[in-house]
Every structure is written in structure tokens, then in C-alpha cells.
Amino acid sequence: MGLKLENIVDRLEAGGGLQRDELAALLFDDDLEGITYLKRRARHVTDRIYGTDIYIRGLIEFTSYCKNNCLYCGIRCANKKAQRYRLTKEQIMECCKQGYALGFRTFVLQGGEDAYFDEKTVCGIVHDIKAAFPDCAITLSIGEKSRAQYQAYFDAGADRYLLRHETANETHYGKLHPKEMRLENRKRCLVDLKEIGYQVGAGFMVGSPFQTVETIYEDLQFLKELKPHMVGIGPFIPHKDTPFAGEHAGTLEMTLRLLSIIRLQNPRVLLPATTALGTIHPMGRELGIAAGANVVMPNLSPATMREKYRLYDNKLCTGDEAAQGLSGLAKRMRDIGYQVVVDRGDYRRE
Ligand code: SAH
């Protein structure tokens, strides 16, 4: 029968939804011209809204302790081999100071769900960063909390929150997480965060175990309804000390196609070319940008700690991946026609 990819892409760009068989065609078809068209249109939409600017975020992985036991994640609590560390507030402030000097105007505080960082402690850190760097945005990525806690962080000065939904399919969610974790609660968190006024990021891993066209279809539906300001997607990469050690990694190509599809479906979304994408391919970052991504998140954590925040095997944390290597990253972006900018890089409303 032959679905013509160009037609599917045009309709997606015009705001029409995707049918399941059309999604499958976009994900698996080897019609190179059609796929090139998909990526070009996605990049074109990005250029129209954000130009050729690339926004940078300084990622500070401030704790590798986690009470959760997500089956895919290297810092799951059952992984006794994981090296655990916490940064002090002073160390976090030092990361921000270095990052500010390098040109970062967004700091992303990411970590496991670590009870040591209770509401008061997190609010204190957020408050102090905001006081020292009032022109910067603060993004938190510390998992599922109560609405009251999210409100408290927001009142302390947090601007954005990243919480990937991981998969919008209940059964799939259950295969990736221990039974105490519920998709329903993760969705509740995302809705609370949005209502409070955060710029919110959702997202999922590409090629995670048990993912199917159907689950991806549901992910896209979910993103269409939620309308997050950011969507983080990157390939699943197995970690040797997790139950998914023997699973296949997600592919570069599938991740690129999904970046483009998400860009066409949610045109204004902030879309990072993630560390995981850079990890599975030396040009992953550049290819992600060409497919419609417009954000990169170099690592600002202290060099001695980086190795320990190991969500998956071979995770990049040096060279152009490190914030200190920003000039290298900036050059790589210039080489493909884009410029890293000193800017908070907020979501652009219509
Ligand atoms: N505790 C926080 C931060 C989680 S780490 C939270 O719950 O949101 C950030 C993201 O890394 C996760 O949302 C997950 O999608 C991704 N990740 C974890 N393990 C991974 C793996 N093995 N391969 C690729 N990405 C992974």
C-alpha cells in the first residue's frame, strides 16, 4: 500500500495527528528521502521559532543516593556497587559560580530521590543560588514530591522542573519500575508542576525494554495533551549492574526520528540533544540538533564526582560533555551553523 512519508510529515507539521501505522512508518521505514525530509522539516520549524541559537544548561548532579529502584537506572537503591556521594551547598554554589563565568544562565540540579535533601535544604539551596545569580533560571530534577513541596521549591525561586514520565503506558511503566511506583502519581506530579507555574519537562527513553510502537504512540498522545515546555528523550543504554544489563540499547536513528516527530508535534518545545545521545554516537549531539533539538546540557558537577553519577554504562562526562569544555562544544556547534548563546533560554510563547 505504501504510506508516503512526505505526506505524513506535512500533515504532522500542519497540526494533524499521527495514526499508529503512520508512526510505525516514520520510525521504521528505510525510505531515506522521506526520513531526510522529516528531519529537515523539524529543523525548519526549530529555526522559525528559536533560530540557530543553542541554549545551554549547566547540569549539576548533586546526589547519587536514591530511594527508588527503577530497573533501568544505575543509581537504583538495590545497586550496592553504585558509588554514592552528596554535594554540600557550598560545592553546589561553587559549580554555579564556575558555570556563570563560563556563560551558563540555567542551572539544572538533578539527583536521585534522596531524603537527606529535605524541603528546607532544597529551598535553602534554591534561595541561595537565586540570590547570588538573579539573572539565572533554576531547574530541579529530583523526582516525585508532594504538591506542597513543589510549591515550596517554586516559592523559593525554582523556575523549571524536569520529570520524565518514562512511558505513558501503564503496563509498560510497571515493567520498568518497582510496584511502589505508579504512572498515575508521576502524571499527577507533572500536572501539579504545571499548575504551580513551572516550565515543565517530560520525556522518555528511546528503545527501553518492552517499548513498542503502541507505547510510543501513547507517549506522543500524552505529550500532545500535557503540552510540556521541554521534552527530554535519549536512547536507553544498559547498565551492567541493573536487571536490564543484557538488554539492547536504543538506537541513534530512532532517537533522531523521534526528536523530529516531537518537534513537529509540539513546535515550541525545548528539546535537548541529550548526554545519552552523545554517548551512543560521537556526532550524536550534532545529529540531534540537525533533527530539531535546540538545547544541550553539559556537565557542571565537580570532576571527581561525575564518574559516580552513572545512570548507564560509558556515560560521557568529560571533553565537550563537560561544562569546562564549553569552548569545544561551542566550536562544534559553530561548525554546523549554530551558536551557543549566553541566555536563560526560556520557552517562547506565541
Ligand atoms: N530522580 C530524578 C532524575 C532521574 S535521572 C527523576 O526521577 O526524575 C534522569 C533520567 O535519566 C531519567 O528520567 C531516565 O529517563 C534517564 N535514565 C536513567 N537510566 C537510564 C539508562 N540506563 N539509559 C538511558 N537513560 C537513563
| C-alpha to C-alpha distance for 98 and 9, rounded to whole angstroms | 43
What's the CATH fold of domain 20-341? TIM Barrel (3.20.20)
| C-alpha to C-alpha distance for 105 and 73, rounded to whole angstroms | 29
pLDDT, one tens digit per residue, over 191-217 is 999 999 999 999 999 999 999 999 999
Task: Concatenate the DSSP letters of all residues of 66-119 into one string.
Answer: -S---TT-TT-TT-TTS---B--HHHHHHHHHHHHHHT--EEEEEE---TTS-H
- What pLDDT is stored for residue 2 in this prediction? 61
Where along the chain do its domains lie? 20-341
Residues with CB under 6 A from ligand 1: 72-73, 110, 112-113, 141-143, 163-164, 166, 205, 234, 236-237, 239, 276, 311-312
Amino acid at 221: Q
Three-state DSSP class for 314? coil
The four Cα atoms 126, 130, 135, 137 give a dihedral, to 10 degrees, of 10
45 grid coordinates: 520549524
| CA 257 to ligand 1 centroid distance, Å | 20
- What pLDDT is stored for residue 17 in this prediction? 87
- What pLDDT is stored for residue 1 in this prediction? 46
- What pLDDT is stored for residue 120 in this prediction? 98
| C-alpha to C-alpha distance for 124 and 161, rounded to whole angstroms | 17
Pocket test residue of 164, 208, 242, 247 for ligand 1, highest count of atoms within 8 A of CB:
164
The four Cα atoms 340, 92, 319, 269 give a dihedral, to 10 degrees, of -40
Q: Which residue has the cell 521534552?
A: 231
Task: Concatenate the DSSP letters of all residues of 233-265 into one string.
Answer: EEE----TTSTTTTSPPPPHHHHHHHHHHHHHH
**What pLDDT tens digit does each residue of the chain (350 aa) get?**
467 999 999 999 999 989 999 999 999 999 999 999 999 999 999 999 999 999 999 999 999 999 999 999 999 999 999 999 999 999 999 999 999 999 999 999 999 999 999 999 999 999 999 999 999 999 999 999 999 999 999 999 999 999 999 999 999 999 999 999 999 999 999 999 999 999 999 999 999 999 999 999 999 999 999 999 999 999 999 999 999 999 999 999 999 999 999 999 999 999 999 999 999 999 999 999 999 999 999 999 888 888 889 999 988 887 777 777 888 999 999 999 999 999 999 999 98
| CA 188 to ligand 1 centroid distance, Å | 18
Report which DSSP code applies to 320: G
Answer yes or no: are the C-beta atoms of 156 and 131 closer than 8 Å. Answer: no
Q: Which residue has the cell 500532545?
A: 224
Pocket test residue of 67, 69, 70, 72 for ligand 1, highest count of atoms within 8 A of CB:
72
Q: What is the pTM of this model?
A: 0.97
Instruction: Considering only CA atoms, give the Rg of the chain.
Output: 19
- Nearest CA to 254 among 24, 75, 1, 46? 24
| C-alpha to C-alpha distance for 179 and 192, rounded to whole angstroms | 22
Pocket test residue of 311, 312, 316 for ligand 1, highest count of atoms within 8 A of CB:
311
- Nearest CA to 166 among 198, 200, 208, 195? 208
Side-chain-side CA neighbours of 54 within 13 Å: the count stands at 29
